[in-house]
């Protein structure tokens, strides 16, 4: 028997109802705030992710599903199943000249992503993300709205044990001194760092702070090193922007904590970064992560454009929220005349009312037994009903019956 691939999962039965609720809530919340849905291809040129996500990230170095297409006699190209969606949305933003529209340009998405990593609770190799991307606004109001949208969406799903962690990475100019300071203080410990951190030391020192290796974490906790890591390095302009973000959050009554170790796992972030965590998820507690990426549009070939966004994993949301219960049909047609039964079902469904009938044309008692399990009312359609043009409606909760000329 051929089974589903490791790290993938079929979504069937009642689970689909909860998934539908998640997607519908996203559509309602985001479209109400003027975000338009965007659907990008599930594979892109590999170079898009190398340049956009960053070649110092675990995603690019270890986790991408990459394929070469075309033979030696053809124009060979490398494509990758999308490991995240921001780079793809930015590519579409540039390709379709969306920057010509009046800012802000606001988008939301829902779809599958792919990363080759060890499957665990709430994390699969094919997983799904919901996210928003907001282009064209440098003002800190955009940062605040992005966080607000995440909060409002999560609240709509009944989640209330949420904690927002907030940090600023500054701009490329003020961050350069910080990177050099971190490299200087960690230089004596370089031989003791994990192999990933040794690579990050050269390519992107800030990414070392996101390392989960216990030995690396112990090194970072040393007083002399922690003093450098927690140093307020950002310039006056970036500091003012971060202060304004916090003022907006306070005005919105969004509680948050400052976490100076928060750097996020992608290279394109600058200034504001944040995570929203749930204590229900244990050690892997982040349910949403995002921030600013003001340089990404220009890096991928567009004009310089401020931008902010976030993404959250649907599988993790599924673990957290209350599952949707199956809703009964409104009507079930019980009849020994299948042609009449399907015609009546069609008539009722065209009115937007749920209805079904017994395709196997079983005995009357069996049909009624099935109706009692899956519907609120049974429509009994016998010889008298067909000849005289009425319907017998049975309330399956209390057993009462009545005759009607119209449904």
Spatial separation of the C-alpha atoms in residues 169 and 143, rounded to whole Å? 14
What pLDDT does 34 receive? 97
Tokens 């017994």 found at: 358
Architecture of domain 329-404: 3-Layer(aba) Sandwich (3.40)
Which residues, 6 or more positions from 201, have their beta carbon under 8 angstroms from its beta carbon?
183, 186, 190, 193, 208
Lowest-confidence region among 173-182, 245-254, 314-323 = 173-182
Q: What is the pLDDT of residue 118?
A: 83
Highest mean pLDDT among 122-126, 156-160, 242-246, 313-317: 242-246
pLDDT in tens, 136-165: 999 999 999 999 999 999 999 998 888 899
Asked if the model's pLDDT at residue 328 lies above 60, the reply is yes
Q: Which residues pair with 276 in a beta bridge?
A: 164, 288
Q: Do residues 397 and 385 lie in contact, with contact meaning Cβ atoms separated by under 8 Å?
A: no
CATH topology assigned to domain 15-171+234-320: BirA Bifunctional Protein; domain 2 (3.30.930)
Residue range 166-196, pLDDT digits in tens: 999 888 888 787 888 888 888 888 888 888 8
Compute the average pLDDT of residues 376-381: 96
pLDDT given at position 289:
93
323 DSSP assignment: P
| Mean per-residue pLDDT, 396-404 | 92
- Beta-strand relationship, 355-357 and 43-45: unpaired
Question: What is the pLDDT of the chain when averaged over all its residues?
Answer: 89
Distance of CA 122 to the CA centre of its chain: 12
Tens of pLDDT, residue by residue over 70-106, are 655 445 688 999 999 999 999 999 999 999 999 999 9
Residue 114: predicted pLDDT? 95
pLDDT of residue 341: 95
pLDDT of amino acid 196:
80
Q: Is the pLDDT of residue 49 over 60?
A: yes
The ranges assigned to domains in the chain are: 15-171+234-320, 329-404
Instruction: Classify residue 405 by its DSSP letter.
Output: S
Separation of alpha carbons 160 and 176, rounded Å: 38
pTM of the model: 0.85
Structure confidence at residue 366 as a pLDDT band (50, 70, 90) = very high
């Amino acid at each position: 028997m051929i089974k589903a691939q490791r790290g993938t999962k079929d979504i069937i039965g009642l689970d689909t109802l909860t998934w539908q609720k998640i997607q519908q809530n996203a559509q309602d919340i985001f479209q109400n705030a003027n975000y338009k849905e965007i659907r990008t291809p599930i594979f892109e040129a590999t170079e898009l992710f190398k340049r956009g996500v960053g070649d110092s990230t675990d995603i690019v170095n270890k986790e991408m599903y990459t394929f070469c297409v075309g033979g030696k006699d053809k124009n060979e190209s490398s494509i990758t199943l999308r490991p995240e969606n921001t780079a793809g949305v930015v590519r579409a933003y540039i390709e379709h000249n969306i920057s010509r529209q009046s800012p802000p340009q606001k988008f939301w998405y829902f779809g599958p992503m792919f990363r080759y990593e060890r499957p665990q609770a709430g994390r699969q190799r094919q997983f799904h993300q919901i996210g928003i991307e907001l282009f064209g606004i440098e003002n800190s109001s955009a940062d605040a709205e992005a966080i607000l949208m995440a909060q409002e969406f999560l609240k709509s799903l009944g989640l209330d044990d949420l904690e927002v962690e907030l940090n600023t990475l500054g701009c490329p100019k003020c961050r350069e001194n910080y990177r050099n300071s971190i490299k200087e203080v960690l230089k004596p410990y370089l031989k003791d760092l994990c192999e990933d951190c040794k690579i990050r030391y050269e390519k992107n020192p800030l990414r070392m702070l996101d390392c989960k290796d216990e030995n690396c974490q112990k090194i970072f906790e040393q007083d002399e090193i922690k003093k450098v890591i927690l140093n307020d390095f950002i310039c006056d302009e970036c500091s003012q922007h971060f202060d304004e973000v916090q003022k907006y959050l306070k005005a919105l009554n969004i509680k948050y904590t400052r976490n100076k170790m928060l750097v996020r796992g992608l290279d394109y972030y600058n200034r504001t970064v944040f995570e929203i965590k749930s204590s229900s998820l244990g050690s892997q507690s982040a349910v949403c992560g995002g921030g600013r990426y003001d340089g990404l549009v220009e890096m991928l070939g567009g004009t310089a454009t401020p931008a902010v966004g976030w993404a959250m994993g649907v599988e993790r949301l599924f673990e957290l929220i209350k599952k949707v219960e199956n809703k009964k049909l409104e009507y079930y047609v019980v009849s020994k005349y299948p042609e009449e039964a399907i015609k009546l079902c069609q008539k009722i469904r065209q009115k937007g009312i749920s209805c079904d009938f017994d395709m196997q044309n079983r005995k009357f008692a069996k049909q009624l037994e099935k109706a009692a399990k899956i519907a609120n009312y049974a429509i009994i359609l016998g010889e008298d009903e067909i000849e005289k043009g009425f319907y017998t409606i049975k309330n399956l909760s209390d057993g009462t019956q009545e005759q009607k000329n119209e449904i």
